[in-house]
Structure formats: C-alpha cells, structure tokens
Chain A
Amino acid sequence: MFPPSLNVTFSKKPSVKMAKLTSLFVVLFSLFCISEAVFEDQVGKFDWRQQYVGKTLFAHFESNTQSSKKLFVATDKNIFASFNSRTGDLLWRHVDKTGPEGTIDTFLLHGQDALMVVGDGRLLRSWDTNIGGLNWEAVLDTGSFQAACFVAIQDTVKHVAVLKKAAISLHYLSNGHQKWVENLPDGDAVQYQAVYSGGEEELYVLGVVPNSHLTIIAYSLEDGEITKQRSVEAPWLSSVESSCVVVGQGVLMCVDPATFALYTLPIQAEETPEFSQILLQSLDLKVSPGFQPVLVSSQPHPARSPLSEFFLQLGTDHHVLLQLNADGYTIAPLRDFQPSFLVSFATTGEKTVAAVMTPKNETACAINLFSVDSGRRLLDTTVIFPLDLNGGKPHKLYVHAFLKKDDSVGYRVLVQTQDHALTFIQQPGRVVWTREEALADVVTMEMVDLPLTGTQAELEGEFGKKADGLFPMVLKRLSSQVILLQAWLAHLWKLFYEARKPRSQVKNEVTIETLSRDEFNLQKMMVMVTASGKLFGIDSKSGSILWKHYLENVQPNAAFKLIVQRTTAHFPHPPQCTLLIKDKDTGLATLHVFNPIFGRKSHIALPALPRPILQSLLLPVIDQDYAKVLLLVDDQYKVTAFPSTKNVLQQLQEMASSIFFYLIHSDQGNLSGFRLRKDLSTERIWEVVLPTEVQKIVAVKGKRPNEHVHSQGRVMGDRSVLYKYLNPNLLAVVTESTDTHPERAFVGVFLVDGVTGRIIHEAVQRKARGPVHFVHSENWVVYEYWNTKSRRNEFSVLELFEGTELYNSTVFSSLDRPHLPQVLQQTYIFPSPITTMEATLTEKGITSRHLLVGLPSGAILSLPKMFLDPRRPEVVTEHSREENLIPYAPEMPIRTEWFINYNQTVLRVKGIYTAPSGLESTCLVVAYGLDIYQTRVYPSKQFDVLKDDYDYVLISSVLFALFFATMISKRLAQVKLLNRAWR
C-alpha cells in the first residue's frame, strides 16, 4: 500500500508504523468527537424517503380476480417493480444497471412467472412474482433483440421463444434451459421482426425485406427444424413490427398508410397466397391527414389464437373496432369511437372486453367497457378519469378486468399520462392512488422559504409601507396588535376545541393554505424540476406534493436552469422563480416564471428571446419590486435583462463596469470572460484555451452565492492567523484527458479567477481518470477521481491561504490582488467509488462543514471536512495538537454511523442539495436520483437547541419543588423565631 501520490506543496510519506499509530489516534479521536447516528426513536422524525421507478414501459396485473393486489411494471430506468394496487406502495423493486446493459426489452407475464429480456437480448430472466425473487437467468447468444413470445403446447405454456436479429431460440419456462437455437436463413437481407405462436405445433417467424417481400418461416417446436418457408410479395410493407398484427386464426393483418388499405394473409396456409387488400374507403373509414394508422390486437392466452376483433386507430382521437370475419378475408366494422383517446383490451376468464377512453368535458375523461363480440357498451361500467389541468394528457391505458360474483365484468384501470404519472382508478371513478414517476428523474431543484402567516405578514407589512406621520403609524401599530391578539385567541380556542376531540381525529395535514414558516425555518418548499418537464412543489417536512405543473412541449434533452428571483422576504410581493428551458436542438430558450409556493404561472411580460441563449447570470441587483435581475447571454454575446424596467436598466448602466461573466465552450476547450458594456453589449476581456486534443473540460463550479464564511482565517498552534484566500470569483475547472490509457490518463483541476482569467493554481493528477466529483466552497476544493495506477478511488483536497497577513481586509477585488495564494494539497484513499458529492451549508457559516457523499450502495455519507484538511501533520507536534489537527493517515475511514440515511438507501443518487435553515446548527439535505430523501444534518451537533429528550417535566418540577420548599421553610423559620422571642 502506497500513500497517495501528488503533493504539490507539502509531501506526505508516512511510514507504516506511523500510519498505524496515526490511524489508532484517528479512531480514538473520532470516538470522542463524532457520534451522530440517529437514535431509534428518531427514525423518520426528521427525514423521509420516496421511492420511484421511472416511466413505465410495460405493465401487467397479477391475476384476473377481484382480490388480486399486485401489479408489475418495467420501466425505462431499467427497473422491474411491483406495486400494491390498493395503495400504490412499492412491494419490491429490482434496480438493474443503468444504460443499455440493463434495458428491459420486453416483459411477459404468465401466471406466477414474469419473463424479461434484458440488455438488448443479453439475458433472459424469469422472476417469481409472489416474492420478487429470481427464478432463473439465462445468457442468450449475441445479437440484438427483436421479439419474444410464450409458446404453448396442448394448452399449457411450457416455452418461451426469443427472436434475435439472426437467430431464434426456444427456452423452457421452468428452468430457462435452451431447447434449441436456430440461425435464421438469409439473415443479412431479411429483417426478422415478429414471432407468433397460436398454440399449434409450429412457431412462425416473420421477416421483411423492406418494400419487397415478406418471409414467413415455420419452425417445428420439437427440434427447431424448418417445416415451411415461403415469401409473399409485399412492396408496400416496410416494417412488420409497426404495421402488422396477428388476428383471428393466424391471420396477419397489416395496414398500409400510403394507400389507406388493410392487407390480410393467413400465416399457416400451405400454399402461397397473395395478400388480400381491403381499402379503408370500402369500410367507410378515413384516416386523419398525416396520421400513421395503428393496429391493436389481443391474444388473451398464448395457447389460443388471438381474437378476431381488433382496433384500428385512424387519428389521434379516433379508433374503430373491427372484426375479421370467419372467412379470413372480409372485415366488418363493429363500432366507431370518435372521439376516443385510448383503447385497450382486457380479458377475464373467457370474456374479453375493450376499454375505451373518451373525453367527457374539460376536466374529465370517461372510460367505458364494450363487449368485443358485439361492440355493445356494457352497462354500469363507466369510470371517470379526472384530467389534471397541471398534468399531462393520458398516454396509455392498462385495464385490470375481473369477474364479479354475479358474473358481470368489473375492472380497474391504470392510466399513464404523458408526464409519466400513474393513476389507478376504481369504479365508479375513485382515484385510488397516483404515483408521480416523473420524480424519478429530477434535474434540478431549489428550496424556497415558506411565507409568513397572515398575522406575521401583517406585522411585516407595517414596516414595509412608507411612513406617513406619527399618528397613523401608532394607529397602524395598534390595529396590528389587535389582529395579533385576535389570532392568538383564535389559536387558543382551536387548541381548546381540539383537545376535547380524540387524538386520532385531529389531523395535521399540510395543505397549501396552511403553509407557513415555522419558528426555525426548518420547513421549506422544495421546487423540483424533472426531465419530463413537470415541476413539483414538495413540502420538505412531510414530503407531500403540494403543487405540480406540467410544461408541455419540453424536449426530452432540454437543459434547465432554475433561478429564485425573489424570495418570500418581500411581502406583499409574491416570491418568484424562473425556469430557463433551453431546447438543445434549436438552442432557443424559453422562460417559465412562477410562484414557487403555489406553483402558479406568473403573468409577467417575458422578454423576447429570438436568439439562442448561452447562459444566464443572476445579479444581486434588485428592481423596485425586489426581484433580482437575470441577465441572459445570447450567441452574439448580447445581454437581455429580465425584468427590464427603466429602473433596472439605469442601475445596470451604473454598474456595468463591475459586471463580468464567463462562458465555457466545452467542445472547443475554450474559457472566456466578458465584461458588460453600458449598452448591454459585451467585450471579451480574457480567454483561456485548453487544447481539446489533449484534455476536455468536464465541469466547472464557482462558489454558491448564498454561502457565508464566518471565520476569515484559521488559528494556528502559535496563535497566529493563517488567512483564507476567499476569492468569490474563483472557479474550479475540471478537465479529463482524451487519452484513456491508464499510464497516460490524467485529471486536471484549474483554479481560474472568473474576472481576470488568471490561473491561480493548477493541479494535474497523473495516472488518474474520471468521473471526477468535486466540491468548491470557502477556500477549498475537494475532488475525487480514480487512480489508474493503484486502482483505487482517491480524494484530494486543495486549500488556498493568503498567508499570515491580509492584503486588503475591507474589499475584495480580483483586479487588485498581486499575490498568488499559498496552496496546500493532500490526498487520501477512499475505500468506495462515489456517485455525487456536496458540502453542507448553514446560515452563518459558523458550524463546521461536512461533505455529503453519495455512495453507489445507496448510503449518504457525512464526512467531516476535518478529515480532508491538507494541514493534517505527518508528525504530531504540540502546535498541531493545539489546532486539533488529526495526524495524517492515507486511508479515509467510512464509518457506518456517518450514514445520514441509516438503512433508508437511496439508489442512483444524482445530486444532493443542501440548504441552510434558520438554526445555525442545522442544514437541510435533499438527495435526489431514483429516490428522493430529505433529512437534516447537524455537522457540529445541535448546539443551539435543547435535546429532543430534554426532561422538561423533571427540571421544572424540581424548580417548583425547590421554590415551594424555600417558601415553606422561610415561613417555618419565621414562626420559630417568633415563638422563641415570646418565651
């Protein structure tokens, strides 16, 4: 074991003996100093976790009985999960690898077995749906996945067929063993896209040579021999997958969007017939212009052939239920549904029904069941689906049909909307639960203070208004005091009233109306922006969603930037948040301005943004309505101000010479700085080019604007001060080498002054590669990388000091800093990879800092910054002991008490957000990723709050007892004195 390499200023090479001693010391030290795990009774008191699965791709219900409680989903986040359909709670969840390796290609359910093809045909898995355990897993041959289906012999499903690009294989359902695998003939020319089994002795594979012909191959189930092979002319057909389904007794039904015709072809026929064409016109059907018609069919049981009834979608809100007649050539329309959003088949027992969702009014949709045989509407089957105005439109319908006791069909529906939300509805329209799966992909978030209560606001308002004479002021004060008194009396009355009720009836529900700031500002509004374009307002105390707003027309790859322009501090002006959404394709940006407490869109004149926006910059300048000014920089480096009132423009003109911004073009390896001119154009004042052939700029971080540093320096052992280099304009730019060879790869950290472009320091970590996670705060940068030589994760810390004297203690100007800071660096071994890192933040910055590190295991580690201190000495001296410096040890410990989320693992943590609370000791933490976890951390323990288990009763009773004892003994003493005097 070698100590970590690279030490720029001080070199640390501890001997083994020393390391042992020091690590012992560290352990002892940490025993004394840090113990911050939660107690058992504190579990869930200040923290909550919400687990999500992501956008549903496949969903199945457990079984077709009324009492079944499970439903299974497979999602785009490579998750297979089961919900309790009564409550919407997660029963179990399997999280696979991210990326294409874990993609769920298909999901089939038969009885207790859930079959899944994972990773573009890499694995075939079977899950036991009862407990969520893995039955078996089979590795499939290479080749990209095309289709899979169950294969039944004599009414029992025994096999599963998997079609890949060049091969077809049959597996036993019981153990996953491969029965046979066959290469597909002519695999280069023919695109095999579908596999069909209707319960016979043969398995059919359908392939297409686009715009030429269709190939049908029949395989014997026994040994995989080709029993039949034929090709049919189909010059209009380009894809089987998208335009063909199998209906009735093995009849292939295709739709041609060009000629508006349906084509039918019996798959199993011995001879080679042609496709027979049925023009849609002849059925009196008309496709809406520009719409690609879609066919929907249903095969209720793998052992039987599909239904001869099928849906044809002719427009976005037009479906037709058609029936293939027994002759296999003619089609009879059963029912025309217009308008209709979604259709779905559902089977229970022997009955199959069709569910159709039709718009009812502005705020609701109606779902009805129709008999498939006749197209008649079934009585009493209407379910009302409430349309959320702030939600997406319905996207997919999953129907769980069951037979009631009286043999009629009952059903429940799961509706997936465009915003990835799942809503489960029961007859006659009761929303059983809703899951906001958009929250599985939070992009950015902010925490906003809650508004004051009405009475508090009244008092604040008194001071906010302009003074108009002494007497009116007195009157105003009196009236607000009366209002306060009233509120207090009302509160007392409420307490009294509720005290009489049993405890269980008193509900403490948080609603948007009752929201108000608590004493210590511990409860805040979490504004979360998700990749799907849905915004959420979540109460940080309970985790309940208080508002949601779906932004339509947001591109899936759009970039978001959330800015708080006005906080709640400026009553009566409402708080204001602005979301900058940039379309990656066009580069154009839009602004969405809203009230973060209520989620309502603000009606404010937005600036016209005709040009692509490169970046935004929030100034500490406020307009007359107390909104901070947002500058938007477009691709011609012109600046647009928002809000852009006269007042703001005037202020900007005055301040223009002190406003700077920097832009980083990662693809060009270019950092450039600009200065604002009075006419809101800009001039480039510096440029740094990092050649893209050698290294690539990965990330850049400045300091957080709301960060306060209480102490301007560090006290040394000899009681002198080492002043921190607190440059508010400092940027940490991280680069990675383009060469990924372990010997030549490197990671670079550049500290650049954002105003002058001066490179303050550069640290190059050789034989290292990313992903680099880093935190930049106060006067330090902590970064984590992979050491390719020693094959381990390492943490490195850079700390900047000005020296023992301050250059200028009153103002900081980057333009006037002749001396470079002293840079100290130290590196440590970290025993785990990490997924994200953030530092705690408190109101005044007095509390010591901790690093919050998200680990792939799902834990969030609260690592004291004290351990990442480049001044940790190799040899303990009296001075270092005086400074409370822990002796240097190369290994960084991971102690399980430091996990702030104890056993509440949060998977795939993408970001950690920290916010200060009103208490100096307390920092609010939100970890988001697949799950959302909110808690509080106390880096220096709760020094400003009485303990949770503080014994008020004992203390006050002792006080009272002593008080009375004094009174009584005083009285007794008096009596005794008097008696003595009389004697």
Chain B
Amino acid sequence: MATPGGQGGGALSTRGGARRMKWALAMTLGNARGRGDRQSNQGDVMYPIGYSDKPVPDTSIQESDKNLVEKRCWDVALGPLKQIPMNLFIMYMSGNTISIFPIMMVCMMAWRPIQALMSMSATFKLLENSNQQWLQGLVYSVGNLLGSALAIYKCQSMGLLPTHSSDWLAFIEPPMRMEIMGGGMVL
C-alpha cells in the first residue's frame, strides 16, 4: 500500500538515507539492493518494467463455466421464492395492528415484487445466457407474484382491503323520496 508501484517494477527502491529525493528509479544493477529485484537478478537479463515471464492463463470459455452461469441464473430466478419464508416470518412478527411499522413493512413487501415485475426485461437480460431462460423467467415471475399475493393477504388480514360492505357505505346515495308528505296537529 505504501509503495503502489514497487511490486510491478524491478528496480524500484526507496533510499531512506537520501534527503533530497522521495524516491528514485535505479537503472544500474550494482546498486540494486531491494529484495524484489532478486528474481530478475538471477537471469541476468534486463526486462522492461511490467514484464512477466510467466504465461498468461487461458481465458477462453470452458464447459465447467457453463454450469456456473446456469447456477447463477437459477439463483436469480429463485430469489423471490427464497424471500417468501422470510416475509412470512416478518408478517407474523409485525402483527395485524395498523401502525406505522407494519404499514411500512407491508408497503415494502408489496412494492418489491411489483418493482421486480416491472423491471422484468432487465432480469431477462441477465438470464440471456442461460439455456432454461424461459423456465427461469417463469419461476422468477411466479415467485414475485407469490410475494405480492402474500402482501395482499397481509393487507387483507390487516383490514386494508375494501372487501366488506361497510367499506362501500360512504358511496351509497340517500334513496330518492317517492312521496311528499306533510301536515301536523290541527292548528
């Protein structure tokens, strides 16, 4: 960390005794005292800075990587399903009272699957390389749908869904009067 350039270059050293200069590049062999220079000293050849005599590893695609991609894609597709037990636990913990934290939880729970479903195309791009792209997509969306169903169930159990007749009471218009009536005690 202290000398970022020190490991790449061979003849890089700091002279503790030197006051004028903070660092210097030593081009001569005789002056090279750094430990890192020993390797290059053995071959008695001067390599340019940044030269490595080891071969560069082969980066072409191999068969085992294919499996890895598949695995990764399944991870993505199964993510929403894996969250469901966790959500169930949170739901259980937060209870059915209507207060700020349960509401926030429910909102999060409802919003995340919807968001995920809306950015479906981005997810498909991720799964592009998989062979089971369509299956994975299906599983992904099913998981999200399940998540939102869970949120709706939570709303229902909290009483936030207008499923009762009382929820529509305010919209009932007063009935029209068919007869006109009046009168009273004889004055």
- Could you list which residues of chain A lie within 8 angstroms of chain B, going by C-beta atoms? 559, 561, 580, 582, 589, 613-615, 617-621, 631, 633, 655, 658-666, 697, 699-700, 702, 708-713, 715-716, 719-721, 726, 728-729, 754-755, 804, 806, 808-815
Contacts and interface: CB of A to CB of B under 8 A. Distances in A.
A720 B166 contact: yes
Interface in B132-187: 159, 164-167, 169-170, 172-187
Contacts of A613: 187
B175 A715 contact: no
A728 B165 contact: no
A957 B115 CA distance: 41
A726 B174 contact: yes
Contact of A711 (B164, B165, B170, B176): B170
Contact of A812 (B176, B185, B186): B176
A808 B159 CA distance: 28
Contacts of A618: 182
A663 B186 contact: yes
A153 to B, nearest CB: 58
Contacts of A655: 180
Contact of B181 (A664, A697, A755): A755
Contacts of A806: 172
Contacts of A631: 182
B186 A614 contact: yes
A721 B187 CA distance: 41
Contact of A754 (B159, B167, B175, B183): B183
B184 A664 contact: yes
A631 B182 CA distance: 10
A702 B179 contact: no
A720 B183 contact: no
B181 to A, nearest CB: 5
Contact of A617 (B167, B173, B183): B183
Contact of A726 (B175, B180, B185): B175
Sorted from nearest, which 8 A-B pairs have the closest CB atoms? A617-B182, A813-B178, A661-B183, A719-B164, A662-B183, A715-B166, A812-B175, A559-B187
Contact of B179 (A615, A658, A709): A658
Nearest to A753: B181
19 contacts: A561-B187, A580-B187, A582-B187, A615-B185, A615-B186, A619-B180, A621-B180, A658-B178, A658-B180, A659-B179, A659-B181, A660-B181, A664-B186, A700-B184, A726-B174, A810-B176, A811-B175, A811-B176, A814-B178
Nearest to A756: B179
B161 to A, nearest CB: 11
Given A663-B186, A729-B181, A713 B169 contact: yes
Given A711-B170, A712-B169, A713-B169, A615 B184 contact: yes
SS class, residues of chain B in contact with chain A: mixed
Contacts of A754: 181, 183
Contacts of A813: 178-179
Given A589-B187, A658-B179, 15 more contacts: A580-B187, A582-B187, A615-B183, A658-B178, A660-B181, A699-B185, A702-B181, A702-B182, A712-B174, A719-B167, A720-B165, A721-B166, A804-B165, A809-B172, A810-B176
Contacts of A659: 179-181
Interface string B104-142: 000000000000000000000000000000000000000
B169 A721 contact: yes
A561 B178 CA distance: 26
Contact of B175 (A615, A755, A804, A810): A810
B176 to A, nearest CB: 5
A715 B172 CA distance: 13
A142 B181 CA distance: 53
Contacts of B172: 712-713, 806, 809
Contacts of A713: 166, 169, 172
Nearest to A846: B170
B152 to A, nearest CB: 17
B172 to A, nearest CB: 5
Contacts of B169: 711-713, 715, 721
* Size bracket, chain B contacts: 20 to 34
A835 to B, nearest CB: 20
A620 B180 contact: yes
B97 to A, nearest CB: 13
A180 B167 CA distance: 83
Most A CB within 10 A of own CB, among B165, B167, B172, B186:
B186
Given A613-B187, A709-B174, A661 B182 contact: yes
Interface of B: 159, 164-167, 169-170, 172-187
B129 to A, nearest CB: 44
A304 to B, nearest CB: 55
B165 A666 contact: no
B163 to A, nearest CB: 9
A720 B187 contact: no
B180 A814 contact: no
A664 B185 contact: yes
A755 B179 contact: yes
A720 B159 CA distance: 12
Nearest to A845: B174
Contacts of A589: 187
A664 B187 CA distance: 9
Given A559-B187, A666-B186, A720-B166, A728 B176 contact: no
A512 B166 CA distance: 49
Contact of A814 (B167, B174, B176, B179): B179
B187 A812 contact: no
Nearest to A621: B180
Contacts of B173: 809-810
B179 A809 contact: no
A812 B166 CA distance: 21
B132 to A, nearest CB: 46
B157 to A, nearest CB: 13
A754 B181 CA distance: 7
A728 B185 contact: no
A663 B165 CA distance: 40
A615 B166 contact: no
B105 to A, nearest CB: 23
A815 B184 CA distance: 20
Nearest to A718: B164
A755 B179 CA distance: 8
A579 to B, nearest CB: 12
A660 B179 contact: yes
Nearest to A674: B183
Given A559-B187, A615-B186, A719 B159 contact: yes
A810 B174 CA distance: 7
Most A CB within 10 A of own CB, among B179, B180, B183:
B183
B181 A614 contact: no
A819 to B, nearest CB: 15
A836 B184 CA distance: 19
Nearest to A698: B185
A665 B175 contact: no
Given A615-B184, A663-B186, A721-B165, A729 B179 contact: yes
Contacts of B170: 710-711
A174 B178 CA distance: 73
Nearest to A676: B180
B185 A700 contact: yes
A785 to B, nearest CB: 19
B103 to A, nearest CB: 19
A707 B182 CA distance: 15
A628 to B, nearest CB: 11
Contacts of B177: 728, 811-812
Contacts of A710: 170
B164 to A, nearest CB: 4
A632 to B, nearest CB: 10
A342 B181 CA distance: 51
Contacts of A809: 172-173, 175
Contacts of B174: 708-709, 712, 726
Contacts of A755: 179, 181
B9 to A, nearest CB: 32
